[in-house]
Amino acid sequence: MAKTVKLTPPLTDEDVLQLEIGDRVLVSGVIYTARDAAHKRLVDLLAAGKELPVDLQGQILYYVGPSPARPGRVIGAAGPTTAYRMDSYAPILMRLGLKAMIGKGKRDPAVIAAMQEHKAVYLGATGGAGALISQCIKEAQVVAFPDLGPEAVHRLVVADLPTIVINDCYGRDLYEVGVAEYRRAPAP
């Protein structure tokens, strides 16, 4: 039975172990943004033996490139981007303690295996709801790679950002389970 869980990073193994596919997760506190260009730079820094600009231990990365803020707003639309573009980088960042990723779409089997190994989860946010999601963002500040514009790494303070567990740390995939259950459902 799906449950609603409130999480505030930094996350622990225990936080992640309680989550199962289909659970609704309301995220509050500090999270960071990173899309593919930022992920590449993070991994390049690691390959060069340099320190990352943010500590990923217990952290959540939101795959988003927010639009500019209108006057009086903290941030513009902040809808999730497609996660598979980060799949080649995600296992490396999970080894550094990354505990959750927020995006949309399916993940590669290697990423799902890394989630099992490192006790991490993938949370889905609703695509096309960027304006609504932005209302959960209370503060936004660029903290790395400002030359990337919207793809820079932002530090966000969020309150009850709504997500759902798509991949848990047990190797389960909500997309696969949902399709299987739909196929078994009797016709109306």
Confidence band of 187 (pLDDT split at 50, 70, 90): low
Asked whether 108 and 102 are in contact (CB, 8 A), the reply is no
pLDDT of residue 129: 86
User: Can you read off the two tokens belonging to residue 96?
Assistant: 């550094």
What pLDDT shows up at residue 125? 95
CA-derived radius of gyration, the chain = 16
Written as six digits, the tokens of 80 are 């999730």
Active site residues: 39
Question: What are the residues facing 60 on neighbouring strands?
Answer: 100
Kindly write down the DSSP assignment for every residue of 7-25, as one continuous string.
Answer: E-SSP-HHHHHT--TT-EE
Confidence of residue 127 (pLDDT cuts 50, 70, 90): confident
Which domains are delineated in the chain? 4-184 (3.20.130.10)
Mean pLDDT across the chain: 94
Q: How far apart are CA 152 and CA 132, in angstroms?
A: 21
Q: Hey, how many other C-beta atoms are within 10 angstroms of the C-beta on 83?
A: 23
pLDDT confidence of residue 188: 64
Task: Report pLDDT digits (tens) over 25-65.
Answer: 999 999 999 999 999 999 999 999 999 999 999 999 999 99
178: confidence class by pLDDT, cuts 50, 70, 90: confident
Q: What stretches of the chain adopt beta strand conformation (E)?
A: 4-7, 24-33, 60-62, 100-103, 121-124, 137-144, 153-167
Q: Is the model's pLDDT at 172 over the cut of 70? A: yes
The sign one gets for the Cα dihedral 15, 108, 173, 79 is positive
Instruction: For residue 169, give the nearest of 27, 16, 61 by alpha carbon.
Output: 16
Q: Could you report the per-residue pLDDT of 96-124, keeping only the tens digit for each?
A: 999 999 999 999 999 999 999 999 999 99
Q: What is the pLDDT of residues 145-169, one digit of tens each?
A: 999 999 999 999 999 999 999 999 9
Q: What is the pLDDT of residue 1?
A: 78
